[in-house]
Amino acid sequence: DAGVIQSPRHEVTEMGQEVTLRCKPISGHNSLFWYRQTMMRGLELLIYFNNNVPIDDSGMPEDRFSAKMPNASFSTLKIQPSEPRDSAVYFCASSLIPGIDSGANVLTFGAGSRLTVL
C-alpha cells in the first residue's frame, strides 16, 4: 500500500481564495482524521469520520472550514475564504476502527499539505 496520500503537498494562495486539500486513506481503513499543525498550537484535531460519516467536527475552527468524505477512499478539507491565520500544515490520517476490547486505533499519517495564505 502506498500509505495515506495527500495533495497538494504545498499550496500558496492569497487571502480570500478557496483552498481544497485532498486525502486518500489506506485501503481498508474505515476511520479518517484531519489534523492541523502550527508552531503555536501544535497538533489539533479538526474532524474525524467513521465509515465516511463525520463523528466529531468540534475542532473545526470556523464555518469557513468544511470537510467531506463522499466515499471510503477520498476526503476533502475545504477553506473558503482562506485567511493568513489558516497557514499551517494539514495532516490526514487513517486507521481501522478498533473493537471495544482491543487496543486503541493506530493512526497512519500522510506527509501533510503545507498551506501558506498571503
First to last CA, the chain: 36
C-alpha 9/C-alpha 21 separation (Å) is: 9
Query: Exactly one of 33, 67, 82, 86 binds other proteins (CB under 8 A); which one?
Result: 33
SS3 content of the chain, % helix, strand, coil (to 5): 5, 55, 45
The nearest distance, CB 11 to other proteins, in angstroms, is: 15
- Nearer to other proteins by C-beta: 44 or 81? 44
* 25 makes contact with other proteins (CB under 8 A): no
C-alpha 53/C-alpha 101 separation (Å) is: 22
- Of 14-22, 39-47, 65-73, 75-83, which part binds other proteins (CB under 8 A)? 39-47
* 111 makes contact with other proteins (CB under 8 A): yes
Q: How many CB atoms lie within 10 A of CB 77?
A: 23
Query: Exactly one of 16, 28, 84, 98 binds other proteins (CB under 8 A); which one?
Result: 98
C-alpha 87/C-alpha 82 separation (Å) is: 9
* 76 makes contact with other proteins (CB under 8 A): no
Q: Which residue has the cell 491565520?
A: 85
The nearest distance, CB 103 to other proteins, in angstroms, is: 4
Element (H, E) at 69: strand 65-71
- The residues of the shown chain that bind other proteins, judged by CB under 8 A, are 4, 31, 33, 42-43, 45, 48, 50, 56, 91, 93, 97-98, 100-101, 103-112
